[in-house]
Amino acid sequence: MIRRMDTGPDTLRNSDWDRTFHAYGCAADLPGALAAVLSGDAGAFGGALDHLYGAVLHQGTVYPATAPAALFLAGGLGLSALDTVVEERVSGPITGRVVLLEFLAGAALASLIDHDTGTPAPAPVPETERDRVIAMMRSEDEEEAIAAWDEPVVERLMLDGLADMRAAAPALADAVRPFLTHPDRSTRIRAVEAAAALCRLGAGTPDLSGAADLAECRDEGAVIVLALGDIGEDTTEFLAHADPVVRVCAALAPALRNDPAALAELRSALTDPDAVEAWFTTPPSLFALGGRDVLVEALAASSNATRAVPDPSVGAGTGVPG
């Protein structure tokens, strides 16, 4: 477990990196990768971030090293080094700060595993057991290093990693909050998504009014409405919005899963699925892999799924019955 929920450099001092682990074993290698991410060197950034995604968020899995890594990165969000452009996308140049906000949102969403709050927490893992397993992971004997993952204590330490992410959520949200009103549009969009994900993890409800005041385009409005729905706010009023895309984003709120007006908006949008794929310049993360499937899955999740979901024999470009 993390000793203190500090962000930034304090995390490097207060985290026992050589006594925790990620997907590849002992996390003693993480401080170097974390420092490279905040270095302002675009080349070093890419390699280090790839390592972090592979190690502490491997295939969407949270590890004991995930929370301290997230806390360190969150504390560095304000560094000028993160103004560096690290990649080019269809939407334009993307800074390191935007990519880190995406990482924080992903870490929070990966931590949203149902847990029974009424069940007493298991006893802390004895330090001797933790050290024994870490020593196995660091063994030069490949069989012993692999066998470490079958140790029962590993599962308990993985659960500790999820608990650490929940405990870290308020501090992470505090670090994200200033970027809800950042001058850069892409930064604001990803900050809204990170704030919503952290709220769902227990950070408290974010104030998105500043982001709404600065919203310049459909992309921002859509992300804000999606975030409001995700954190449990009532998005019904947006079902009457002038922009049909904003109406659809309102309809995707979990609370409106079976709302007739919301379902009608989703079905209406799917009458032109090709247009759905062209809605955004900077798409919400939810739509990153394509919007049509998002809408179809939302319809399938409704209690009236048989009527709501398009006939699978209908081609992607031929539309959906109204």
- Kindly state the helix (H) or strand (E) to which residue 45 belongs, with its residue range: helix 42-56
Q: Which long-range contacts (CB under 8 A, 24 or more apart) does 44-48 make?
A: 45/84, 45/86, 45/96, 45/99, 46/86, 46/87
Amino acid letter, residue 126 = P
Q: What pLDDT tens digit does each residue of the chain (322 aa) get? A: 555 556 666 777 778 899 999 999 999 999 999 999 998 898 899 999 999 999 999 999 999 999 999 999 999 999 999 999 999 988 889 999 999 999 999 999 999 986 555 566 667 889 999 999 999 999 999 999 999 999 999 999 999 999 999 999 999 999 999 999 999 999 999 999 999 999 999 999 999 999 999 999 999 999 999 999 999 999 999 999 999 999 999 999 999 999 999 999 999 999 999 999 999 999 999 998 889 999 999 999 987 654 544 443 444 432 322 2
**3-state class of 92 per DSSP?**
strand
* Cα Dmax for the chain: 64
- SS3 assignment, position 85: strand
C-beta pairs of 12-19 under 8 Å, 24+ apart in sequence: 12/72, 15/68, 15/72, 17/65, 17/68, 18/134, 19/130, 19/131, 19/134
List C-alpha distances in Å: 232 to 27, 44, 147, 206, 228. 36, 39, 43, 11, 6
d(CA 149, CA 136) in angstroms, rounded, equals 9
* 260 close to 251: Cβ distance less than 8 angstroms: no
Tokens at residue 256, please?
A: 């409106």
- Can you tell me the distance from the alpha carbon of 227 to that of 204, in angstroms, rounded to the nearest whole number? 13
* 8-state DSSP, 254: G
Confidence (pLDDT) at 322: 29
Query: C-alpha 151: how far from its chain's center?
Result: 29
Residue closest to 280 by CA, chosen among 291, 295, 267, 270:
291
Whether 293 contacts 299, CB under 8 Å:
no
192-236 confidence digits (pLDDT tens)? 999 999 999 999 999 999 999 999 999 999 999 999 999 999 999
Pairing of strands 85-89, 25-26: unpaired
Backbone dihedral angles phi then psi of residue 266, each to the nearest 5 degrees: -65, -45
Strands 25-26 and 21-22: antiparallel
Distance CA 104, CA 67 (A): 10
Kind plus residue range of the DSSP H or E element containing 165: helix 152-176
Terminal-to-terminal C-alpha distance of the chain: 52
Q: Provide φ and ψ at 90, rounded to 5°.
A: -60, -35
> What is the model's pTM?
0.89
- Give the model's pLDDT for residue 303: 73
94 and 191 in contact (C-beta within 8 Å)?
no
